[in-house]
Chains A and B, each alone.
Chain A
């Protein structure tokens, strides 16, 4: 250890001591609570985690999906002189100036769940959230392993239903899946890709068209379980059995379909873990701990085989 790191470490310890003397005031501006169960559960978990720690005073705000409101909330939090700000960006580009303003005011910013655009990376301390590329890759592995078990890894045909076009999460998961699948199962072909817009009904319509178009479909990869279950409903209605469904972000409906034996696997991403990781990241920064810039929380594989190890998602 050289002198500089020792100095930095001791300063950090001093700072940490100073910070823990009084409470940490942490503000969060969320994307759109209430629009889906994930975000609703996230907020509840965040408040619960903040309440459980006597040293934390949380200011919990929600932008309602509105960029302008989120920027105003950032400014409010800066005015209130909070110790750290957590932001769930409504828009990866538009919030950058507000994030920069916080950084200039000396307030560390943590981005949660979905990252801001790279242009803003200099102004934030850390990103806390899921690694969507890994999620896509893991879904590919789940599907490939199942094909190998079934002995169809040399001929299987897969259709891919993506999230909303243009969304980072959708793009990253699709990339992870499409890059990884040929590595683990080189002879499996992805015959078609269409967006399901994170919407169960839309996904069901897309799958109906796929079922008409292709007489032979062995696997479906959907960007989340909501869409996966939509596709499953379409296959059931058409009486097409034996298709392997793999999703991501395990939803309660996906979990139930797995329990019923209709749906093979997914990626377990808990909004509770997401919220707690974000808060912990902010606390660690304020305590002077060294944290990675991309601070991913683990999102494990879940299939019919190991689902007993996981509790049913609440959303």
Chain B
């Protein structure tokens, strides 16, 4: 280990001769995760040149877009100092509901109806966590299985498929493309830009950081914490509904379990991006990087053709490496034992 750390430190020492030490430090501290991301991209591309081909990049970002949209919403919840473990089964719910309503109400009504139902679930969670001040882990862990049950009850356990797959325009959100860019990527990018502005540039965004960073101080500053937390869950559920729409549109049919397990992947992406589980820190931009890292790791390992049992392990190793690089950049040193 000490050998590795010295090895990694040497190039940095060399660069510092030309630029001021402080400048480099500041850039590294801010963009550690971005640097880690760049390293992975280069490494995977050396292993398989097709990795950074336009087709592959588009297909990875498109696949990641669904997870990504969910992660945008969860970023709000996490920054406000709470958790949302219900997003996976909530996504299954919205996917199944919109597919079913597509055939009964028609796509134009199905979409707003599904958004209303999904956001009602988000409002319920927001109410329980914000106004009844119940622990968000317990509330959303419970909702994880409650919503799963709701989905199964709704569908009677059956797969949901759109009857007339050729004759509907509904596929546009998942399969279409505009200006040569797949629509899911556009949705992801637009939502990221919008929510990034809300979080970074508005008073509402600053309130979320305040509530998550120091709740008591936020209260003394006149911030209505319950309302802020409630809004975060509402935003999260709206993002989940969007993800469900993209998912349903992409395959025009779905299993009840389509979102199962995504809650942990979403959380991993958010944390990987550098948001603190304790709340008060994180940005939309870094969440996007976290999402892309996860997406590119998965794809890169497939292209490498590693045996899949090994992939679970390698994925973990890469994530740890990324987190370590990020933390090391913030602290300005690679080796920092608990003292």
Chain A interface (Cβ < 8 Å from any Cβ of B)? 33-37, 39-40, 165, 192-195, 199-201, 204-206, 208-210, 212-213, 226, 229-230, 233, 237-238, 251-253, 256, 315
Contacts and interface: CB of A to CB of B under 8 A. Distances in A.
A315 B308 contact: no
B56 A192 contact: no
A315 B305 contact: no
Given A165-B308, A200-B255, A212-B59, A37 B157 contact: yes
A208 B158 contact: no
Interface string B149-162: 00010001111010
Interface in B75-125: none
Given A213-B303, A213-B305, A238-B55, A36 B255 contact: yes
Given A35-B152, A206-B302, A195 B308 contact: yes
B45 interface: no
A253 B253 contact: yes
Given A33-B157, A39-B157, A208-B59, A201 B298 contact: no
A209 B53 CA distance: 12
Nearest to B95: A201
Given A200-B251, A251-B159, A213 B152 contact: no
B231 interface: no
B251 A233 contact: yes
B157 A209 contact: no
A200 B254 contact: yes
Nearest to A251: B159
Interface bracket on B: 20 to 34
A226 to B, nearest CB: 7
B186 interface: no
A194 B309 contact: no
A165 B307 CA distance: 11
B175 A36 contact: no
A209 B302 contact: yes
Contacts of B56: 209, 212
B331 interface: no
A56 B303 CA distance: 55
Nearest to B161: A253
A213 B50 contact: yes
Given A199-B255, A212-B55, A37 B303 contact: no
Contact of A40 (B48, B50, B156, B298): B156
Contacts of B302: 194, 206, 209-210, 213
Nearest to B48: A213
A209 B302 CA distance: 6
A200 B257 CA distance: 10
